[in-house]
Amino acid sequence: MPDWLLTLLITVVKAVAVILALLTTFAYMTLVERKLLGRFQIRVGPNRVGPMGLLQPAADAIKSIFKEDLQVTMADKLVYTLAPIIAIGMALTAFGGIPAGPAGSLFGENPWVYNLDAGVLALLALTSMGVYGIFLGGWASGSKYPMLGGLRSSAQMISYELGMGLSILGLLMLVGSTRFTDIVLWQGANGWMILFQSLGFALFMISSFAETNRTPFDLVEAEQELVAGYLTEYSAIKWALFQMAEYVNMITASALMATLFFGGWRGPGFLNGIIPGIADLPIVWLVVKIGFFLFVFIWVRATLPRLRYDQLMRFGWKLLLPLALFNTVLVAGYVAFFSAWGWWPLALLSLLGLIALLALSDTVRQLWTPPRRESELPRVPSRSAGGD
Amino acid sequence: MLLVALSIGILAVLVSAILGPKKSSRTKLMAYESGNDPEGGGVGTGQRFPVHFYLVAMLFIIFDIETAFFFPLAVAYQKLIPFAFFEAITFVLLLLVGYYYVLKKRVLEWT
């Protein structure tokens, strides 16, 4: 067998394995989310289908396959079908670049499907291609609520994509490479990036919540406001594909946070002092970290109310963007003039920035809920004498 | 990876199209509007929406190009200091002038 064919075969096998793993995780993610939301609200989640509700995802999947696939008369047929495929395709592809261990640690193969030099950029580009899926879906539905939901979602996602791109610039300056494996190696040598970039991490996390359309930023599918946003006219498996894309994006975002800021597949090094070798179980640690961030996603959903749309846009443009720029300039200045002191003062600076952000959050909040001036208050219509 | 992922999506849609029931009626295929006959909307009817979305998209293009300029700078930063620092600061300041103008124009206020 020629060499290139073998490589291709291995890549395809790995891709299929990653995709199947992601789909299973997605299915059980929905179950875990419902269970956890139940626990948060002092009730039990699904527990009827199978032991502890473990077959619930399978039941949901079978149901959505056997449902009738409706298509509204006014819909654009090609785009309507294409949109969910784009969404799921991009969401699944984005995950393949995350390294799950050092080179050659997966039965002699590399534990990633592809490892590009511009890894971070490619991942950002792929996640933002997901906007196309959602917007095209909304547009092609041939109805106005999906259209409005799609517009809102695209505006929101592109706004927070800026914050996402800018908030990792400081990290890239420290590492000097956009390759995921290099970033993980740097963290192995210098300590986890969260220590040096806590402000950047906070911004990145907030933007990834908005990018994946999760609460408190899930205006796209605000059930109480816009029916179901871009999903209104979708049924059966296409609806399930959109849901799948959203959850897979969540998993990717968690993996991204773990890889960029929390040492990727490396466990905390001091644990090796207690039980030797425990910090060097590559895939296990990555899964643990992803699980933790997924839990945070669900936790936040059960805790925070949704933002209004204008608040969302103001928050993104007036707070997130300037702060991300500020973080970049801070790191740039430090690296340029004080790098002889090592990176620890930078950690302190970043932490101070984060604490200042938290302490001032009440003052800062007026940015996105500005106090109304007297002239801007809604006028009470004065009744004319003749009545109406 | 991309091909495998896309084929998964296509496969799912095909399987559902084969297995699902197909009993459509005119009422079933009507767009959702709380039970009323749908008014307006639909592809190709020239539906209007607020100009704010255009503005946000334009701002995004501008600032995303800025980000695109920043990425190579960030990667090569440690080889170019301190010169690169002043370059970056100049660039950011120029952009901030534009940002300030946008703020004062109240483009980012959704009313």
DSSP per residue over A62-97, as a string?
Answer: HHHHHS-----TTS-HHHHHHHHHHHHHHHHHHHTT
Could you identify the residue written with the tokens 């917007």? A135
A202/A196 Cα distance (integer angstroms): 12
Interface membership of A73 toward B (CB under 8 Å): yes
Per-residue exposure over A177-190, b if at least 16 CB sit within 10 Å of its own CB, e if not: bbbbbbbbbbbeee
Provide the pLDDT for residue A221: 67
Residue of B nearest to A369 (CA): B109
Instruction: Show Cβ contacts of residue A155 under 8 Å, excluding neighbours closer than 6 positions.
Output: A313, B52, B53, B56, B57
CA distance A190 to A79: 48
Please tell me which residue of chain B has the smallest CA distance to A83: B9
Measured in whole angstroms, the distance separating CA A72 from the mean position of its chain's CA atoms is 31
Q: What is the DSSP letter of A367?
A: G
**Are A238 and B57 a contacting pair at CB < 8 A?**
no
What's the rounded mean pLDDT across residues B48-71? 86
Contacts of A380 (CB under 8 A, 6+ apart): none
Tell me: pLDDT of A199 over 50: yes
Joined together, the tokens standing for residue A98 give: 């995350």
For chain A, percent of residues with pLDDT exceeding 90: 2
Residues in chain A: 388
Which is nearest to A219 in space by CA: A163, A287, A158, A150?
A150
Least confident of A2-11, A61-70, A274-283, A302-311: A274-283
Q: What Å distances lie between residue B9 and A240, B6, B16, CA to CA? A: 10, 5, 11
CB-CB: which of A91, A142, A162 is closest to B60? Answer: A162
B-interface mutation test, from A19, A72, A177, most B Cβ less than 10 A away: A72
Mean pLDDT over all residues of chain B?
81
* B15-35 pLDDT tens trace: 887 887 777 777 777 777 766
pLDDT in tens, A262-292: 887 777 767 776 776 666 777 888 888 889 9
Q: How far is CA B88 from CA A166, A175, B47, B99, B110, in A?
A: 13, 18, 42, 16, 31
With pLDDT > 70 as the criterion, what percentage of chain A qualifies?
88
Residue to mutate among A12, A26, A64, A69, with most B CBs inside 10 A, is A69
As a whole number, mean pLDDT of residues A194-214 equals 85
Mean pLDDT of chain A: 81
Instruction: Report which residue type is found at A61.
Output: A
Residue B23: Cβ within 10 Å count: 7
Q: How far apart are CA B25 and CA A71, in angstroms?
A: 11
Overall average pLDDT of the A338-344 stretch = 74
Best of A18, A121, A135, A169 to mutate (most B CBs within 10 Å, chain B): A169
Contact present, A212 and A365 (Cβ < 8 Å) = no
B71 interaction partners in chain A (CB closer than 8 Å): 121, 165, 169, 172, 178
Residue A386: predicted pLDDT: 45
Rounded CA separation A60/A243 (Å)? 12
Cα dihedral B98, B100, B102, B107, rounded to 10, equals 160
Question: Tokens for B36?
Answer: 């009323």
What is the spatial distance between Cα A254 and Cα B91, in angstroms, rounded to a whole number?
32
Token pair 């940002």 is found at B99
Q: Which range among A64-78, A369-383, B16-30, B77-91 has the greatest average pLDDT?
A: B77-91
Interface membership of A15 toward B (CB under 8 Å): yes
Confirm or reject contact between A121 and chain B (CB < 8 A): yes
Q: Is A77 on the interface with B (CB under 8 A)?
A: no
- For residue B45, the model assigns a pLDDT of 62
Residue A61 contacts B, CB cutoff 8 Å: no
Residue A374 has pLDDT above 70, yes or no: no
A contact residues 298-357, partner B, Cβ 8 Å cutoff? 309-310, 313-314, 317-318, 321-322, 325, 328-329, 332-333, 335-337, 339
**Model confidence over A76-128: pLDDT tens digits?**
788 888 888 888 888 888 888 888 877 777 777 777 787 888 888 888 888 88
Structure tokens at A340: 């002889």
Please say if the pLDDT value at position A295 is more than 60: yes
Q: Which residues on A lie below 8 Å from B56 (Cβ)?
A: 155, 158-159, 313
CA distances from A32 to A42, A56, A284, A293, A323 (A): 15, 10, 19, 13, 34
CA A69, A75, A79 angle in degrees (round to 5)?
A: 85
A277: left (phi over 0), alpha (psi -120 to 50) or beta: left
DSSP state of A109: B
Residue A28's identity, in one-letter code, is: Y
**pLDDT: is A250 or A371 the higher one?**
A250
Q: Which of A68, A69, A47, A71 is nearest to A59 (CA)?
A: A47
**Which A residues 156-195 touch B at CB under 8 Å?**
158-159, 161-162, 165-166, 169-170, 172-173, 176-178
Q: A-B interface: how many C-beta pairs under 8 angstroms?
A: 207
Cross-chain Cβ contact B43/A89 below 8 Å: no
Q: Looking at B7-106, which runs of residues are DSSP E strands? A: none
Question: In the Cβ-directed half-sphere of A59, how many Cα atoms lie within 13 Å?
Answer: 10
Residue B27 DSSP label: T
How far is Cα A320 from Cα A312, in angstroms, rounded to an integer?
Answer: 11
Peptide bond into B82 cis (omega under 30): yes
